Amino acid sequence: MKAIFIAFDQAYYERIIEMLGKNGSRGFTAWKEVQGRGSKTGEPHYGTHAWPSMASALLTIVSDDHVDVVLNELHQMDLATPKLGLRAFVWPIEQAI
């Protein structure tokens, strides 16, 4: 199993939830309002007057064979609207109860 952490502009929220369900990942934990800034070209998401947009984050655990499918769909979303900002990171899960 793998954990996929996804940080994204709030505009993606419903699309990501729908995509995960379509790809067999029912479970997730989401943080609807997080602040941050991309490490490469991302604009800040601070929820302030100067930087009004906000980000969200989501953590889902998927089987190893679903990782590439989910990452590919996320990458396609990011390519379609690169100014919004979307990043995903994968970690191995050693144990679960």
d(CA 12, CA 83): 12
d(CA 70, CA 63): 11
How many domains, the chain? 1
For residue 66, the domain's CATH number is 3.30.70.120
Q: Domain residues for 41? A: 2-92
Burial (CB < 10 A; 0-12, 13-18, 19+), residue 52, is: exposed
pLDDT tens digits for range 21-73:
998 888 999 999 998 887 677 777 777 877 778 899 999 999 999 999 999 99
Q: Supply 93's token pair.
A: 């899960």
Q: Is residue 9 part of a domain?
A: yes
Q: Which residues contact 15 (CB under 8 A, 6 or more apart)?
A: 77
Question: What is the pLDDT, as a whole number, of residue 16?
Answer: 97
Question: What is the pLDDT, as a whole number, of residue 4?
Answer: 98
- Give the residue-averaged pLDDT of 88-93: 97
Q: Is residue 97 part of a domain?
A: no
pLDDT at residue 17 above 90? yes
